[in-house]
Amino acid sequence: MDWAVIALLAAVALPFATAAAIFALGEARTTARSAVNVVGAAGTAVAVLACAASAWQGRAGGPLASAGIGLLDIGFGFEADMLGAVFAVVAGVLWLVTTVYAIAYMSHSPDRARFFGFFSICVGSAIGIALSENLITFFVFYEMLTLATYPLVVHSGTPAALRGGRTYLMYALPAGAALALGVVWLHVLAGPVSFVPGGALPLGLAATHPVQLTAIFALLMLGLGVKAALFPLHGWLPAAMVAPAPVSSLLHAVAVVKAGVFGIARVVLEVYGPDAALLGLTLPLAALAAFTIVFGSVRALAQDDLKKRLAFSTVAQLSYIVLGVALASPLAIAAGIAHLAHHAALKITMFFTAGVVAEEVGAYRVSELDGLGRRMPVTMAAFSVAALGIVGIPPAAGFASKWLLGTGALDAGAGWVVAVLAASTLLNAAYFFPIIHRAWFRAPRAEWATGPDPGRAEADLRMVVPLVLTALAGLAMGVLAGAALSPARWALFVAVMEAM
């Protein structure tokens, strides 16, 4: 086994091993558990980066690191390819950051062993999703993610949390059923489906079985659309915001939701490939994504709860990725894939901030954020950078995706997308700028001034440093979008491969 295979297996296995160790250590041994957690996360980060490196080595059609185990006639397989590496690195690296954040954030919370254990499982599932070589492996990890997220959503155990969790399951489980049906059906129809850039369906199948393939596509989208929060399957995401901040940050802004869009990318690009357009499946998907973008933004506008506003923003932003993939021109695909990383860094920053704000000053609503910039300037600066980035204000990363998406849409002959982007930009600004405005331009709320050092009272460094890092990453990914190995450049490589 060469290093690449070891890295591949380690990337998938380490989070699960970490989870097992956390469960075994139990509630009482906080220090050991945290140490294990950080070490596991760091190891995972290294492993996913190594996977990315091996994917980069094999980018020109060279052999990719792969491993698997047989079951039925297809088995579970893993492979470190360029597309998967994007998601794996995003999930793996942000996990390390989030772990540090979460250890501080949860330091006074009960049931931490349970929390961190399931958290690790979620990340492992996300990485498994990223590195899956075929549809069934993908599905297995996808469903694991579904379940492992649940305990985190309901972690606080309040009635609201339980309600949120129930809503989550009500969406996720039927979706899993639809996905299962789609996956099996496709397997029956097309045989084992490995992900191949440019599509994996046997030649001529689209011509002979158009109706079945369309139905399967619909089932798959139904299954994946829930995690991707495509309208009208998005309802669980705002409800799931009852989860603790680290969950909202990494899972509901990155790992879980992006598992959905990543799956859509896999299915559209590497299963259906050109057949998707041939069967007329991409345009409806693009239209749905476009609608979701506008819809999510409009809903975000009406939310006073900070995390819900962010959640609806996520609903809208995820559809950028779907839209890019559905448009299927190289630049649009690149936009989608790049946005996977861009949005991750930006949105996680915002959720980190929301958590810090809730924890430190007990503010949960946008209307409670008056003057917060003066109370915790670094935190709110990071938030503002991220918000501007999401709006698509250059030079933060959101703009790079938006630019690629716009040009890609026109390449694909879908000029209407530009109008959607414009509308989305306006709406994004309309729901984010008031937050920034409040934080920086309104007089601070009276009760905050009573602290020992009212002017400068940032939260625990273990929380502030992660969110600053992610904000900087979000900035850097935009500023250095053209640099080698930037997500945008990487996405372009992938997109060119996919489109060939």
Instruction: Scan residues 416-445 and list those touching another protein (CB under 8 A).
Output: 418-419, 421-423, 425-426, 429-430, 433-434, 437, 440-443
180 near another protein, judged by CB under 8 A: yes
CB of 191 to another protein, least distance (A): 11
Q: Which is nearer to another protein, 14 or 96 (CB)?
A: 14
Q: How far apart are CA 77 and CA 358, in angstroms?
A: 42
86 near another protein, judged by CB under 8 A: no
Taken in order 355, 356, 361, 363, is the CA torsion positive or negative? negative
Q: How far apart are CA 49 and CA 174, in angstroms?
A: 34
CB of 466 to another protein, least distance (A): 19
Q: Which of residues 146-165 bind another protein (CB under 8 A)?
A: 146-147, 151, 154-159, 161-162, 165
Q: Which of residues 26-85 bind another protein (CB under 8 A)?
A: 69-73, 76
Q: Which of residues 437-496 bind another protein (CB under 8 A)?
A: 437, 440-443, 478-484, 488-489, 492-493, 496
241 near another protein, judged by CB under 8 A: no
Q: Which is nearer to another protein, 26 or 46 (CB)?
A: 26
Show the binding pattern over residues 275-294: x = contacts another protein (CB under 8 A), - = does not: --------------------
Taken in order 462, 465, 471, 477, is the CA torsion positive or negative? negative
Q: How far apart are CA 291 and CA 293, in angstroms?
A: 5
Q: Across-strand partners of 67?
A: 78
Contacts of 60 (CB under 8 A, 6+ apart): none
Show the binding pattern over residues 346-375: x = contacts another protein (CB under 8 A), - = does not: -------------------xxxx-x-----
Q: Residue 395 in contact with residue 478, Cβ under 8 Å? A: yes
Q: Which is nearer to another protein, 144 or 253 (CB)?
A: 144
CB of 42 to another protein, least distance (A): 26
CB of 256 to another protein, least distance (A): 15
CB of 96 to another protein, least distance (A): 25
Q: How far apart are CA 33 and CA 250, in angstroms?
A: 19
Q: Which is nearer to another protein, 195 or 403 (CB)?
A: 403
Per-residue buried b or exposed e for 431-466, using 16+ beta carbons within 10 Å of the residue's own CB = bbeebbebbbeeebeeebeeeeeeeeebbeeebbeb
Q: Which of residues 374-393 bind another protein (CB under 8 A)?
A: 381, 388, 391-393
Q: Which is nearer to another protein, 93 or 429 (CB)?
A: 429
> Contacting another protein (CB under 8 A), which of 399, 466, 467, 497?
399
> Contacting another protein (CB under 8 A), which of 5, 38, 53, 184?
184
Q: How far apart are CA 254 and CA 90, in angstroms?
A: 8
Per-residue buried b or exposed e for 205-235, using 16+ beta carbons within 10 Å of the residue's own CB = bbeebeeebeebbbbbbbbbbbbbbbbebbb
Show the binding pattern over residues 15-34: x = contacts another protein (CB under 8 A), - = does not: --------x-----------
Q: With CB under 8 A as the contact rule, which of the stretches 88-96, 277-285, 310-318, 407-415 interacts with another protein?
A: 407-415
Q: Residue 133 in contact with residue 148, Cβ under 8 Å? A: no
Find tokens 């996300």 and name the residue.
Answer: 126
Token pair recorded at residue 250? 């990494």
